Amino acid sequence: MNEMFLEIKESCKEEINKSLNHQLNEYMVVRAGRANPHILDKVSIDYYGVPTPIKNMASITVPEARILAISVWDQSQVKNVVKAIAAADLGVNPNEDGKTIRLVFPMLTEERRKELVKDIKKIAEETKVTIRNARRDAMEMIKDLQKDGEISEDEQKRYEDEIQTMIDNSCQEVDDNFRTKEKEIMEI
């Protein structure tokens, strides 16, 4: 197999994996009616002049299905953490008793569940677009190899088919991720 093709294939694979990981990371942040510590991943606190994620300055536990408990290690920062969570507009109001911050997630309405499904569908479509862009780039590089005489037309066809199979499998994985998250959101 052509050395250049192996590099093209590996590069395409990396782009696909980045896209799939991005989709899963975005899905982790979507609230599905249960307490999920990942919802706080994008919330940062100005901790002595440095933006610091909550998970780096507190322990986050799930004592019940719809409750997150946050124990801030530096008690002087509890108020700042509460403000940051409130400002992040997560759809929950933080309650604190001086030591522990509790986030109680309300049950999702049917309408809100459908909105969330639309949001995750959009993420899935964006992921597929990124994957298709990786395919386009790989196909162009394969055509250039054939044009430059480094591979034959038969090899070009075989390499393009190999890339297409990889893309098809990846798009199937995107759909599977979507269906799994949709099921989780629509569960009552």
pLDDT of the residue at 33: 67
- Would you place residue 30 in the very low, low, confident or very high pLDDT band (cuts 50, 70, 90)? confident
Nearest of 116, 162, 154 to residue 12 by alpha carbon: 162
Contact 12, 4 (CB under 8 A): no
Are residues 44 and 89 both part of a single domain? yes
**Total domain count for the chain?**
2
Same domain, 22 and 72: no
Question: In this structure, are 84 and 15 located in the same domain?
Answer: no
42 lies in the same domain as 95: yes
Last residue of a domain, one of 71, 104, 137: 104
Do 15 and 46 share a domain, yes or no?
Answer: no
Q: State pLDDT tens for residues 117-176.
A: 999 999 999 999 999 999 999 999 999 988 988 888 898 999 999 999 999 999 999 999
Average pLDDT of the segment spanning 12-29: 91
Beta strands, E only, 31-161: 44-47, 50-53, 58-64, 67-72, 94-96, 100-104
Helix (H) / strand (E) containing 48: none
| Contact criterion met (CB below 8 Å) for 150 and 85 | no
DSSP 72: E
Structural domain span for residue 80: 37-104
Q: Could you give the percent of the chain with pLDDT greater than 90?
A: 38
Final residue before a domain boundary, out of 104, 131, 146: 104
Q: Higher pLDDT residue, 78 or 125?
A: 125
pLDDT confidence of 31, banded at 50, 70, 90? low
**Which is more confidently placed, 59 or 30?**
59
What is the Cα 120 distance to its own chain's centre? 10
- 98 and 113 both lie in a single domain: no
> How far is the C-alpha of 94 from the C-alpha of 35, rounded, in Å?
13
Q: How many CB atoms lie within 10 A of CB 161?
A: 10
Q: Are residues 97 and 144 in the same domain?
A: no
One domain for residues 126 and 167: yes
Which of 57, 76, 104 is at the close of a domain? 104
Q: Share the mean pLDDT of the chain.
A: 88
